[in-house]
Amino acid sequence: MVVIGCGLGAVYCILDTFIYLFLSNDFDFTNFFLGPDNGQIFSRLVALCLFLVFGSHAQFTIEKLRSSHRKLLKYKSILEKEVEKQNADLNGSYTRVEKEIVERKKAENELFETKEYIENIISSMNSSLVVTDPELTISLTNKATCELLNYSESELIGKPIENIFYNKDLFINTLHDKLLSESSVKNYETLYKTSSGEKIPVIFLSSIMYKDGKDRRTPTGIICVAQNISHLKQTKEELMNTFTELERTKDMLVQSEKLAAIGRLSAGISHEILNPINIISMRLQLLEMTEKMTEQGKSTLSICENQLERVVKITKDLGQFSRFHEKYFKVNDINKIITHILVLCGPQFKVDGVNTDIQYHPDLPLVPVDKDRIEQVLFNIVSNAVASMTGKGEKNLKISTELSSSGKNIQIKISDSGTGINPDDTTKIFDPFYTTKDPDQGTGLGLFISYSIIEDHGGEIKVENNEIGGVSFIIELPIERKRKND
């Protein structure tokens, strides 16, 4: 604006001078411009006008500029101080931000390391771990769970937790209620189910998760830990089998000791008993031949002779344990031995109305046995079975042969539909003189002798009640005979 004002002022002065000269009477416009002197005068005049106009305005402008400059310097100082202050604030903010970034980065690293550490712990656990959300949907699991149940992690995540239990109702109706009432379940033995439906016995532990770990009103899910105890079950079963075997061996040793004691006893008293018995028997026979003997007397003598015969039989049975039996072990077909016994007992079966059901294993291997003594055992057991069915409406005798579960023995099973046996008596039935028959019908030595014969073969004999109301005798004989006592 200052420049424009100066220019307009100069133009005004020049125009004013021209008008003055033009209005003068003696003014020669041509000479003024074309004359040599007048041209210089005009130039000077223009220069003077310009100097007067521009000089005054320039001075004014310079003063204005100086004032503006001073103001600008003042504002500059203020701005510089403000900028310096803002820079200091920015530097402080930058330092704080930089520190926060470092701290946040450190926290993120620590969080990542903690997460990695926890994931490593979960992954390395040998026990199954399952975590659910409040709706009891699986939200987290570990490698051990996937391997135990034969699922992938993706197949388990999002599924209801009851799906991993073999009995879903058990979890819903029992474990879940226990969790709600007690907040935890400890050492509960249950079954998991694999992807193929297999049962996995486990020890189950569980607890409810709460918000912030404190607010008991807001459960956020449950944690389930389970330990596979299949190997423990197997070990327990093996221990039980070993214990049973030890008990059986103990019983066999006790029975063997009984046999040995009876053998020693019978060897000492057999001769002393039989000699007086023979003398008494002869006297009774002489009395019976007397013509004056009444019928009542003969009946009394008959009773005495029967009892003497019973004493003789018991003594002879006891004598088996004191004598050395020469063993004739030869490989034999057990099926044929049983058939021979059935032929011998056939007439008795017809008289007593006994129905037989015989089931032979078609490929039963030959076994080394003393044929006569095994026949004695089988005949004794079959005779006892027929006797136990006396008075029964339907009399059924079932005999079967098969290989044992181990494949090392052959098994003979003789079952009847008789009266059965008291479970408490199963441990006594092979004791000497134990019998459920009337005194005049048995001595109680038949099963005792049978037991000793089977034991001498390295086998086993046992008795149990069966599903048709009677008892079953199960005999096992080894396919390969042990020769320690041969």
- What tens digit of pLDDT does each residue of 76-93 get? 888 888 888 888 888 888
Weakest-pLDDT range from 106-110, 140-144, 222-226, 303-307? 303-307
106/97 Cα distance (integer angstroms): 14
Q: Choose between 225 and 286: higher pLDDT.
A: 225
Residue 8 confidence (pLDDT) above 70: no
| Region 250-259 average pLDDT | 68
Q: What phi and psi values does residue 138 have, to the nearest 5 degrees?
A: -65, 125
Q: Which pairing describes strands 138-141 and 215-228: parallel, antiparallel, or unpaired? A: unpaired
Residue 316 confidence (pLDDT) above 70: no
76/67 Cα distance (integer angstroms): 14
User: pLDDT class for 23, splitting at 50, 70, 90?
Assistant: very low
Using CB atoms within 10 A of its CB, is residue 432 exposed (0-12), middle (13-18) or buried (19+)?
buried
| Region 218-238 average pLDDT | 86
Q: Choose between 484 and 478: higher pLDDT.
A: 478
Residue 485 confidence (pLDDT) above 60: no
Give the residue from 304, 224, 319 showing the smallest Cα distance to 264.
319
Tokens describing residue 410: 């052959």
| Region 430-446 average pLDDT | 63
Provide the mean pLDDT of the chain. 78
Residue 443 confidence (pLDDT) above 80: no
Neighbours of 58 (CB within 10 A): 15
User: pLDDT class for 437, splitting at 50, 70, 90?
Assistant: low
Q: Choose between 45 and 218: higher pLDDT.
A: 218
Question: What does the pLDDT read at residue 345?
Answer: 85
| Region 388-413 average pLDDT | 88
2/4 Cα distance (integer angstroms): 5
Residue 285 confidence (pLDDT) above 90: no
> 326-486 maps to which CATH number?
3.30.565.10
Residue 224 confidence (pLDDT) above 80: yes
Question: What does the pLDDT read at residue 306?
Answer: 75
Q: Which pairing describes strands 329-332 and 471-478: parallel, antiparallel, or unpaired? A: unpaired
Q: Which pairing describes strands 395-403 and 354-359: parallel, antiparallel, or unpaired? A: parallel
| CA pseudo-torsion sign 174, 176, 180, 185 | positive
Neighbours of 76 (CB within 10 A): 12
Question: What does the pLDDT read at residue 22?
Answer: 47
CA angle 310, 312, 318 (to 5 degrees): 105
Neighbours of 314 (CB within 10 A): 16
| Region 372-386 average pLDDT | 87
Rounded (10°) angle between helices 371-388 and 334-352: 30
Question: Hunting for tokens 């053998």 — which residue is that?
Answer: 263
| Region 435-446 average pLDDT | 61
Question: What does the pLDDT read at residue 324?
Answer: 45
Question: What does the pLDDT read at residue 43?
Answer: 57
For the chain, what are the domain ranges? 2-94, 125-228, 326-486
Residue 33 confidence (pLDDT) above 70: no
Question: What does the pLDDT read at residue 450?
Answer: 85
Residue 219 confidence (pLDDT) above 70: yes
256/249 Cα distance (integer angstroms): 10
Weakest-pLDDT range from 147-156, 249-258, 341-350, 365-374? 249-258
Q: Choose between 13 and 106: higher pLDDT.
A: 106
Residue 114 confidence (pLDDT) above 90: no
Q: Choose between 73 and 323: higher pLDDT.
A: 73
- β-pair partners for 397: 356, 416
User: pLDDT class for 258, splitting at 50, 70, 90?
Assistant: low
Residue 449 confidence (pLDDT) above 50: yes
Single pTM value for the model: 0.41
Question: What does the pLDDT read at residue 478?
Answer: 92
Question: What does the pLDDT read at residue 414?
Answer: 93
Q: Are 129 and 122 in contact (CB under 8 A)?
A: yes
| Region 353-364 average pLDDT | 91
Question: What does the pLDDT read at residue 49?
Answer: 58
| Region 135-159 average pLDDT | 90
Q: What percent of the chain has pLDDT over 90?
A: 14
464/455 Cα distance (integer angstroms): 18
Q: What is the CATH class of 125-228?
A: alpha beta
Tokens describing residue 219: 């459960």
Residue 125 confidence (pLDDT) above 50: yes
Residues in the chain: 486
HEC sequence for the chain: CHHHHHHHHHHHHHHHHHHHHHHCCCCCHHHHHHCHHHHHHHHHHHHHHHHHHHHHHHHHHHHHHHHHHHHHHHHHHHHHHHHHHHHHHHHHHHHHHHHHHHHHHHHHHHHHHHHHHHHHHHHHCCCEEEEECCCCEEEEECHHHHHHHCCCHHHHCCCEHHHHECCHHHHHHHHHHHHHHHCEEEEEEEEEECCCCCEEEEEEEEEEEEECCCEEEEEEEEEEEEEECHHHHHHHHHHHHHHHHHHHHHHHHHHHHHHHHHHHHHHHHHHHHHHHHHHHHHHHHHHHCCCCCCHHHHHHHHHHHHHHHHHHHHHHHHHCCCCCCCCCEEEECHHHHHHHHHHHHHHHHHHHCEEEEEECCCCCCCEEEEHHHHHHHHHHHHHHHHHHCCCCCCEEEEEEEEECCCCCEEEEEEEECCCCCCHHHCCCCCCCCCCCCCCCCCCCCHHHHHHHHHHHCCCEEEEEECCCCCEEEEEEEECCCCCCCC
User: pLDDT class for 106, splitting at 50, 70, 90?
Assistant: confident
Residue 264 confidence (pLDDT) above 50: yes
